[in-house]
Amino acid sequence: QGLKPIVSTESPSLVCGTATKLASDLPATDSFLGKNQVPDLQKLFQKADGLPVHLKRGVPDKLLYRTTMALTIGGTIYCLVALYMASQPRNQ
């Protein structure tokens, strides 16, 4: 009788009906990854030009920043007006 081995010696059954592809069978990814832009972006963001990081890339960053500020201020005003209206007694 003796002790049984803890690890099964049988190969596990397939969970899915398809076999697994090996990484060597997949197509090369170099063609669609493109150029590494990290060094260029590091130079841009580390330049000492006095601009905050969230505005270093120019017009698109300024547009996003101003849109975010406008939505924040508008949402705050909307919440204050809704709070004021909710605090008023109802007339019957």
pLDDT digits (tens, 9 = 90+) for 63-86: 999 999 999 999 999 999 999 999
Q: Which pLDDT value is given to residue 74? A: 98
Residue 9, SS3 per DSSP:
coil
Rg (alpha carbons) of the chain, rounded to whole number:
30
Distance, in Å, from the CA atom of 64 to the CA atom of 54, rounded to the nearest integer, reads 9
Look over the chain and give the mean of its residue pLDDT values, rounded to a whole number: 82
Spell out the residues 6+ positions from residue 26 whose beta carbon is closer than 8 angstroms to its own: none
Mean pLDDT, residues 1-23: 65
pLDDT of 2 higher than 90? no
Only one residue has tokens 């030009």, namely 49
